[in-house]
Amino acid sequence: MKFIYRNDKTKSLHWEFCEKNHTPFIELSIINHKFTNIFYDISNYHISLEEISDDIKKLYLAYIEFCMLSDPIIEDSYNQYYFFNLIVKSEHANFLAEKLYDYLLFRLSN
């Protein structure tokens, strides 16, 4: 399993699995009927958080531009010091969370 929803009863088990296996922890939380937040945590790994955060932000901004999204809730997310939360259209959330997991796992293994 590459991600988990915030209200899932097995969230703590998923967290422990990710920690034990050195994989990214990704959690989805529904904001409203339109948007879902994707949170990822790789803070326990030996990787430059600034570098990965900047890379994720670039990818995220390309997604926002490509999907022509504009909403104050999204624009507020641009000010994160570490870019660990991505607000996406709910219908894209599962796909993007899976791809984010693959990308982070690749970056962690290099």
Long-range contacts at 97-102 (CB < 8 A, ≥ 24 apart): 97/2, 97/3, 97/26, 97/28, 97/38, 98/2, 98/3, 100/24, 100/26, 100/38, 100/40, 100/56, 101/2, 101/3, 101/23, 101/24, 101/26, 101/40, 102/2
Provide the pLDDT for residue 24: 94
Provide the pLDDT for residue 28: 98
Provide the pLDDT for residue 78: 82
Provide the pLDDT for residue 109: 86
Provide the pLDDT for residue 76: 83
Provide the pLDDT for residue 5: 94
Q: Which residue positions in the chain have pLDDT lower than 70?
A: none
Give this prediction's pTM. 0.92
Provide the pLDDT for residue 72: 84
Provide the pLDDT for residue 39: 97
Provide the pLDDT for residue 102: 97
